[in-house]
């Protein structure tokens, strides 16, 4: 149950969210992830709050930092200090993967350009996450999630209408860049098995958001149509969205003509009514479809409506708040909430990894998902042990730390 990446060493130089999320994903899969942080302050996200777990003073931890740093160790290094640079050099020599989200060119100025990394460790896989790409006319721009959501078109597709652009409620550009980055790392590790050599994997917030344009992207690149935000209803399927009912609302999806007919049978609609007979017609008459359904649902409480939709075989659901999600038995059954014991904050419940693994067994599938999760590390908590490991001695002594590294991170 140690995970499919057991034995893989990841050196994580990243901070904030995109890079740390990639590192956490690799740690969830069983890799040993050593997080390198600046002395004194550590990862910027340690100070992003409230909420904080403790009050002001030593030992205060932000819940933001907890969200992206489980299953890691922490060591503090000043990358301008010769002694600390030598520690990083030794880590690079032993690593399988290096993660960095400095602004393009910063790592090279610190003495760890891609040529140096390849010389130190030809088998090293490096993931570099930037804001808008490492090259091109705007490759030097710093990357921040909401800016990237806007620049990459996502905000134009999100909101109640064309004049109401909205960001997604989580830093989705950062998270997607981390996910794409981890995916690229895994592909590079597989290729290394054939070639014996590592390589650099690059992605960006811009690339990650454009990478999930999906049908909205081809609506323009193929169809010449520039879609805009239109609230909680699907631009290409109807009915598919959020509908008001007595005392609340429900979501439903008729992704096929068969489902439309089931909905009509349950509520007495004519599936062949003018403007309603095909999905294309319903999309063209979306407002009439919404009014038809909301009129029928107006006197039906949400719980009763959901029960009727379920009995009719029409996919439906409610909009849960986060407290409801984490209390939901289905969430818990999937391992999506885990318990860890933090060194200063005590017992914590954290969102859990989204992947599960199973192997065939004599009596059916046997789950092999990693279960021994470790809490997000206290700043520098593992420094002594890591230095001792690098030196081959049980009592390694950390080198003195100097000034913080320049503020060159991209995300």
CA 142 from chain center: how many Å? 19
End-to-end alpha carbon distance in the chain: 32
- Measured CA to CA, the distance from residue 18 to residue 16 in angstroms comes to 7
Look at residue 323 and give its three-state secondary structure. helix
- Measured CA to CA, the distance from residue 362 to residue 373 in angstroms comes to 27
- Measured CA to CA, the distance from residue 84 to residue 90 in angstroms comes to 10
Strand runs labelled E in 328-408: 337-342, 346-351, 358-361, 364-367
* Helix ranges (DSSP H) in 61-158: 63-66, 82-94, 106-109, 114-120, 145-151
CA 181 from chain center: how many Å? 10
Active-site residues: which are they? 174
Strand 125-130 vs strand 200-204: parallel, antiparallel, or unpaired? parallel
ω into residue 204 within 30 of 0, thus cis? no
């Amino acid at each position: 149950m140690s995970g499919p990446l057991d034995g893989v060493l990841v050196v994580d130089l990243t901070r904030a969210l995109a890079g740390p999320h990639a590192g956490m994903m690799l740690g969830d899969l069983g890799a040993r992830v050593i997080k390198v942080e600046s002395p004194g302050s550590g990862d910027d996200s340690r100070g992003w709050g409230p909420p904080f777990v403790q009050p002001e003073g030593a030992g205060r931890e932000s819940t933001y930092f907890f969200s992206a740093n489980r299953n890691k160790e922490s060591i503090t290094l000043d990358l301008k200090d010769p002694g600390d640079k030598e520690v990083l050099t030794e880590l690079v020599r032993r690593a399988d993967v290096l993660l960095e989200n400095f602004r393009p060119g910063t790592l090279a100025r610190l003495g760890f350009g891609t040529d140096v990394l390849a010389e130190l460790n030809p088998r090293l896989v490096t993931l570099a996450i930037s804001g808008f790409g490492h090259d091109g006319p705007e490759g030097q721009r710093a990357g921040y999630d909401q800016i990237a959501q806007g620049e990459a078109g996502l905000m134009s597709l999100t909101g109640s209408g064309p004049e109401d652009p909205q960001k997604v409620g989580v830093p989705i550009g950062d998270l997607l860049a981390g996910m794409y980055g981890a995916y690229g790392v895994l592909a590079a590790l597989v290729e290394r098995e054939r070639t014996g050599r590592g390589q650099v994997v690059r992605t960006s917030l811009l690339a990650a958001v454009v990478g999930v344009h999906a049908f909205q992207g081809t609506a323009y690149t193929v169809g010449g149509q520039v879609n805009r935000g239109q609230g909680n209803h699907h631009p290409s399927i109807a009915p598919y969205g959020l509908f008001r009912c007595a005392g609340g609302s429900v979501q439903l999806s008729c992704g096929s003509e068969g489902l439309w007919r089931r909905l009509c049978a349950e509520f007495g609609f004519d599936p062949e009514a003018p403007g309603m007979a095909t999905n294309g017609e319903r999309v063209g008459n979306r407002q009439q479809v919404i009014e038809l359904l909301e009129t029928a649902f107006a006197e039906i409480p949400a719980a009763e409506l959901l029960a009727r939709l379920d009995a009719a075989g029409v996919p439906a659901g409610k909009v849960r708040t986060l407290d409801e999600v984490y209390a939901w038995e289905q969430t818990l059954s999937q391992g999506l909430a885990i318990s860890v014991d933090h060194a200063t904050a005590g017992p914590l419940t954290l969102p859990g990894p989204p992947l599960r693994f199973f192997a065939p067994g004599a009596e059916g599938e046997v789950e092999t998902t990693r279960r021994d999760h470790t809490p997000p590390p206290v700043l520098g908590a593992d420094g002594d042990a890591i230095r001792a490991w690098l030196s081959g001695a049980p009592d390694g002594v950390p080198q003195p730390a100097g000034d913080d590294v320049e503020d060159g991170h991209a995300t």
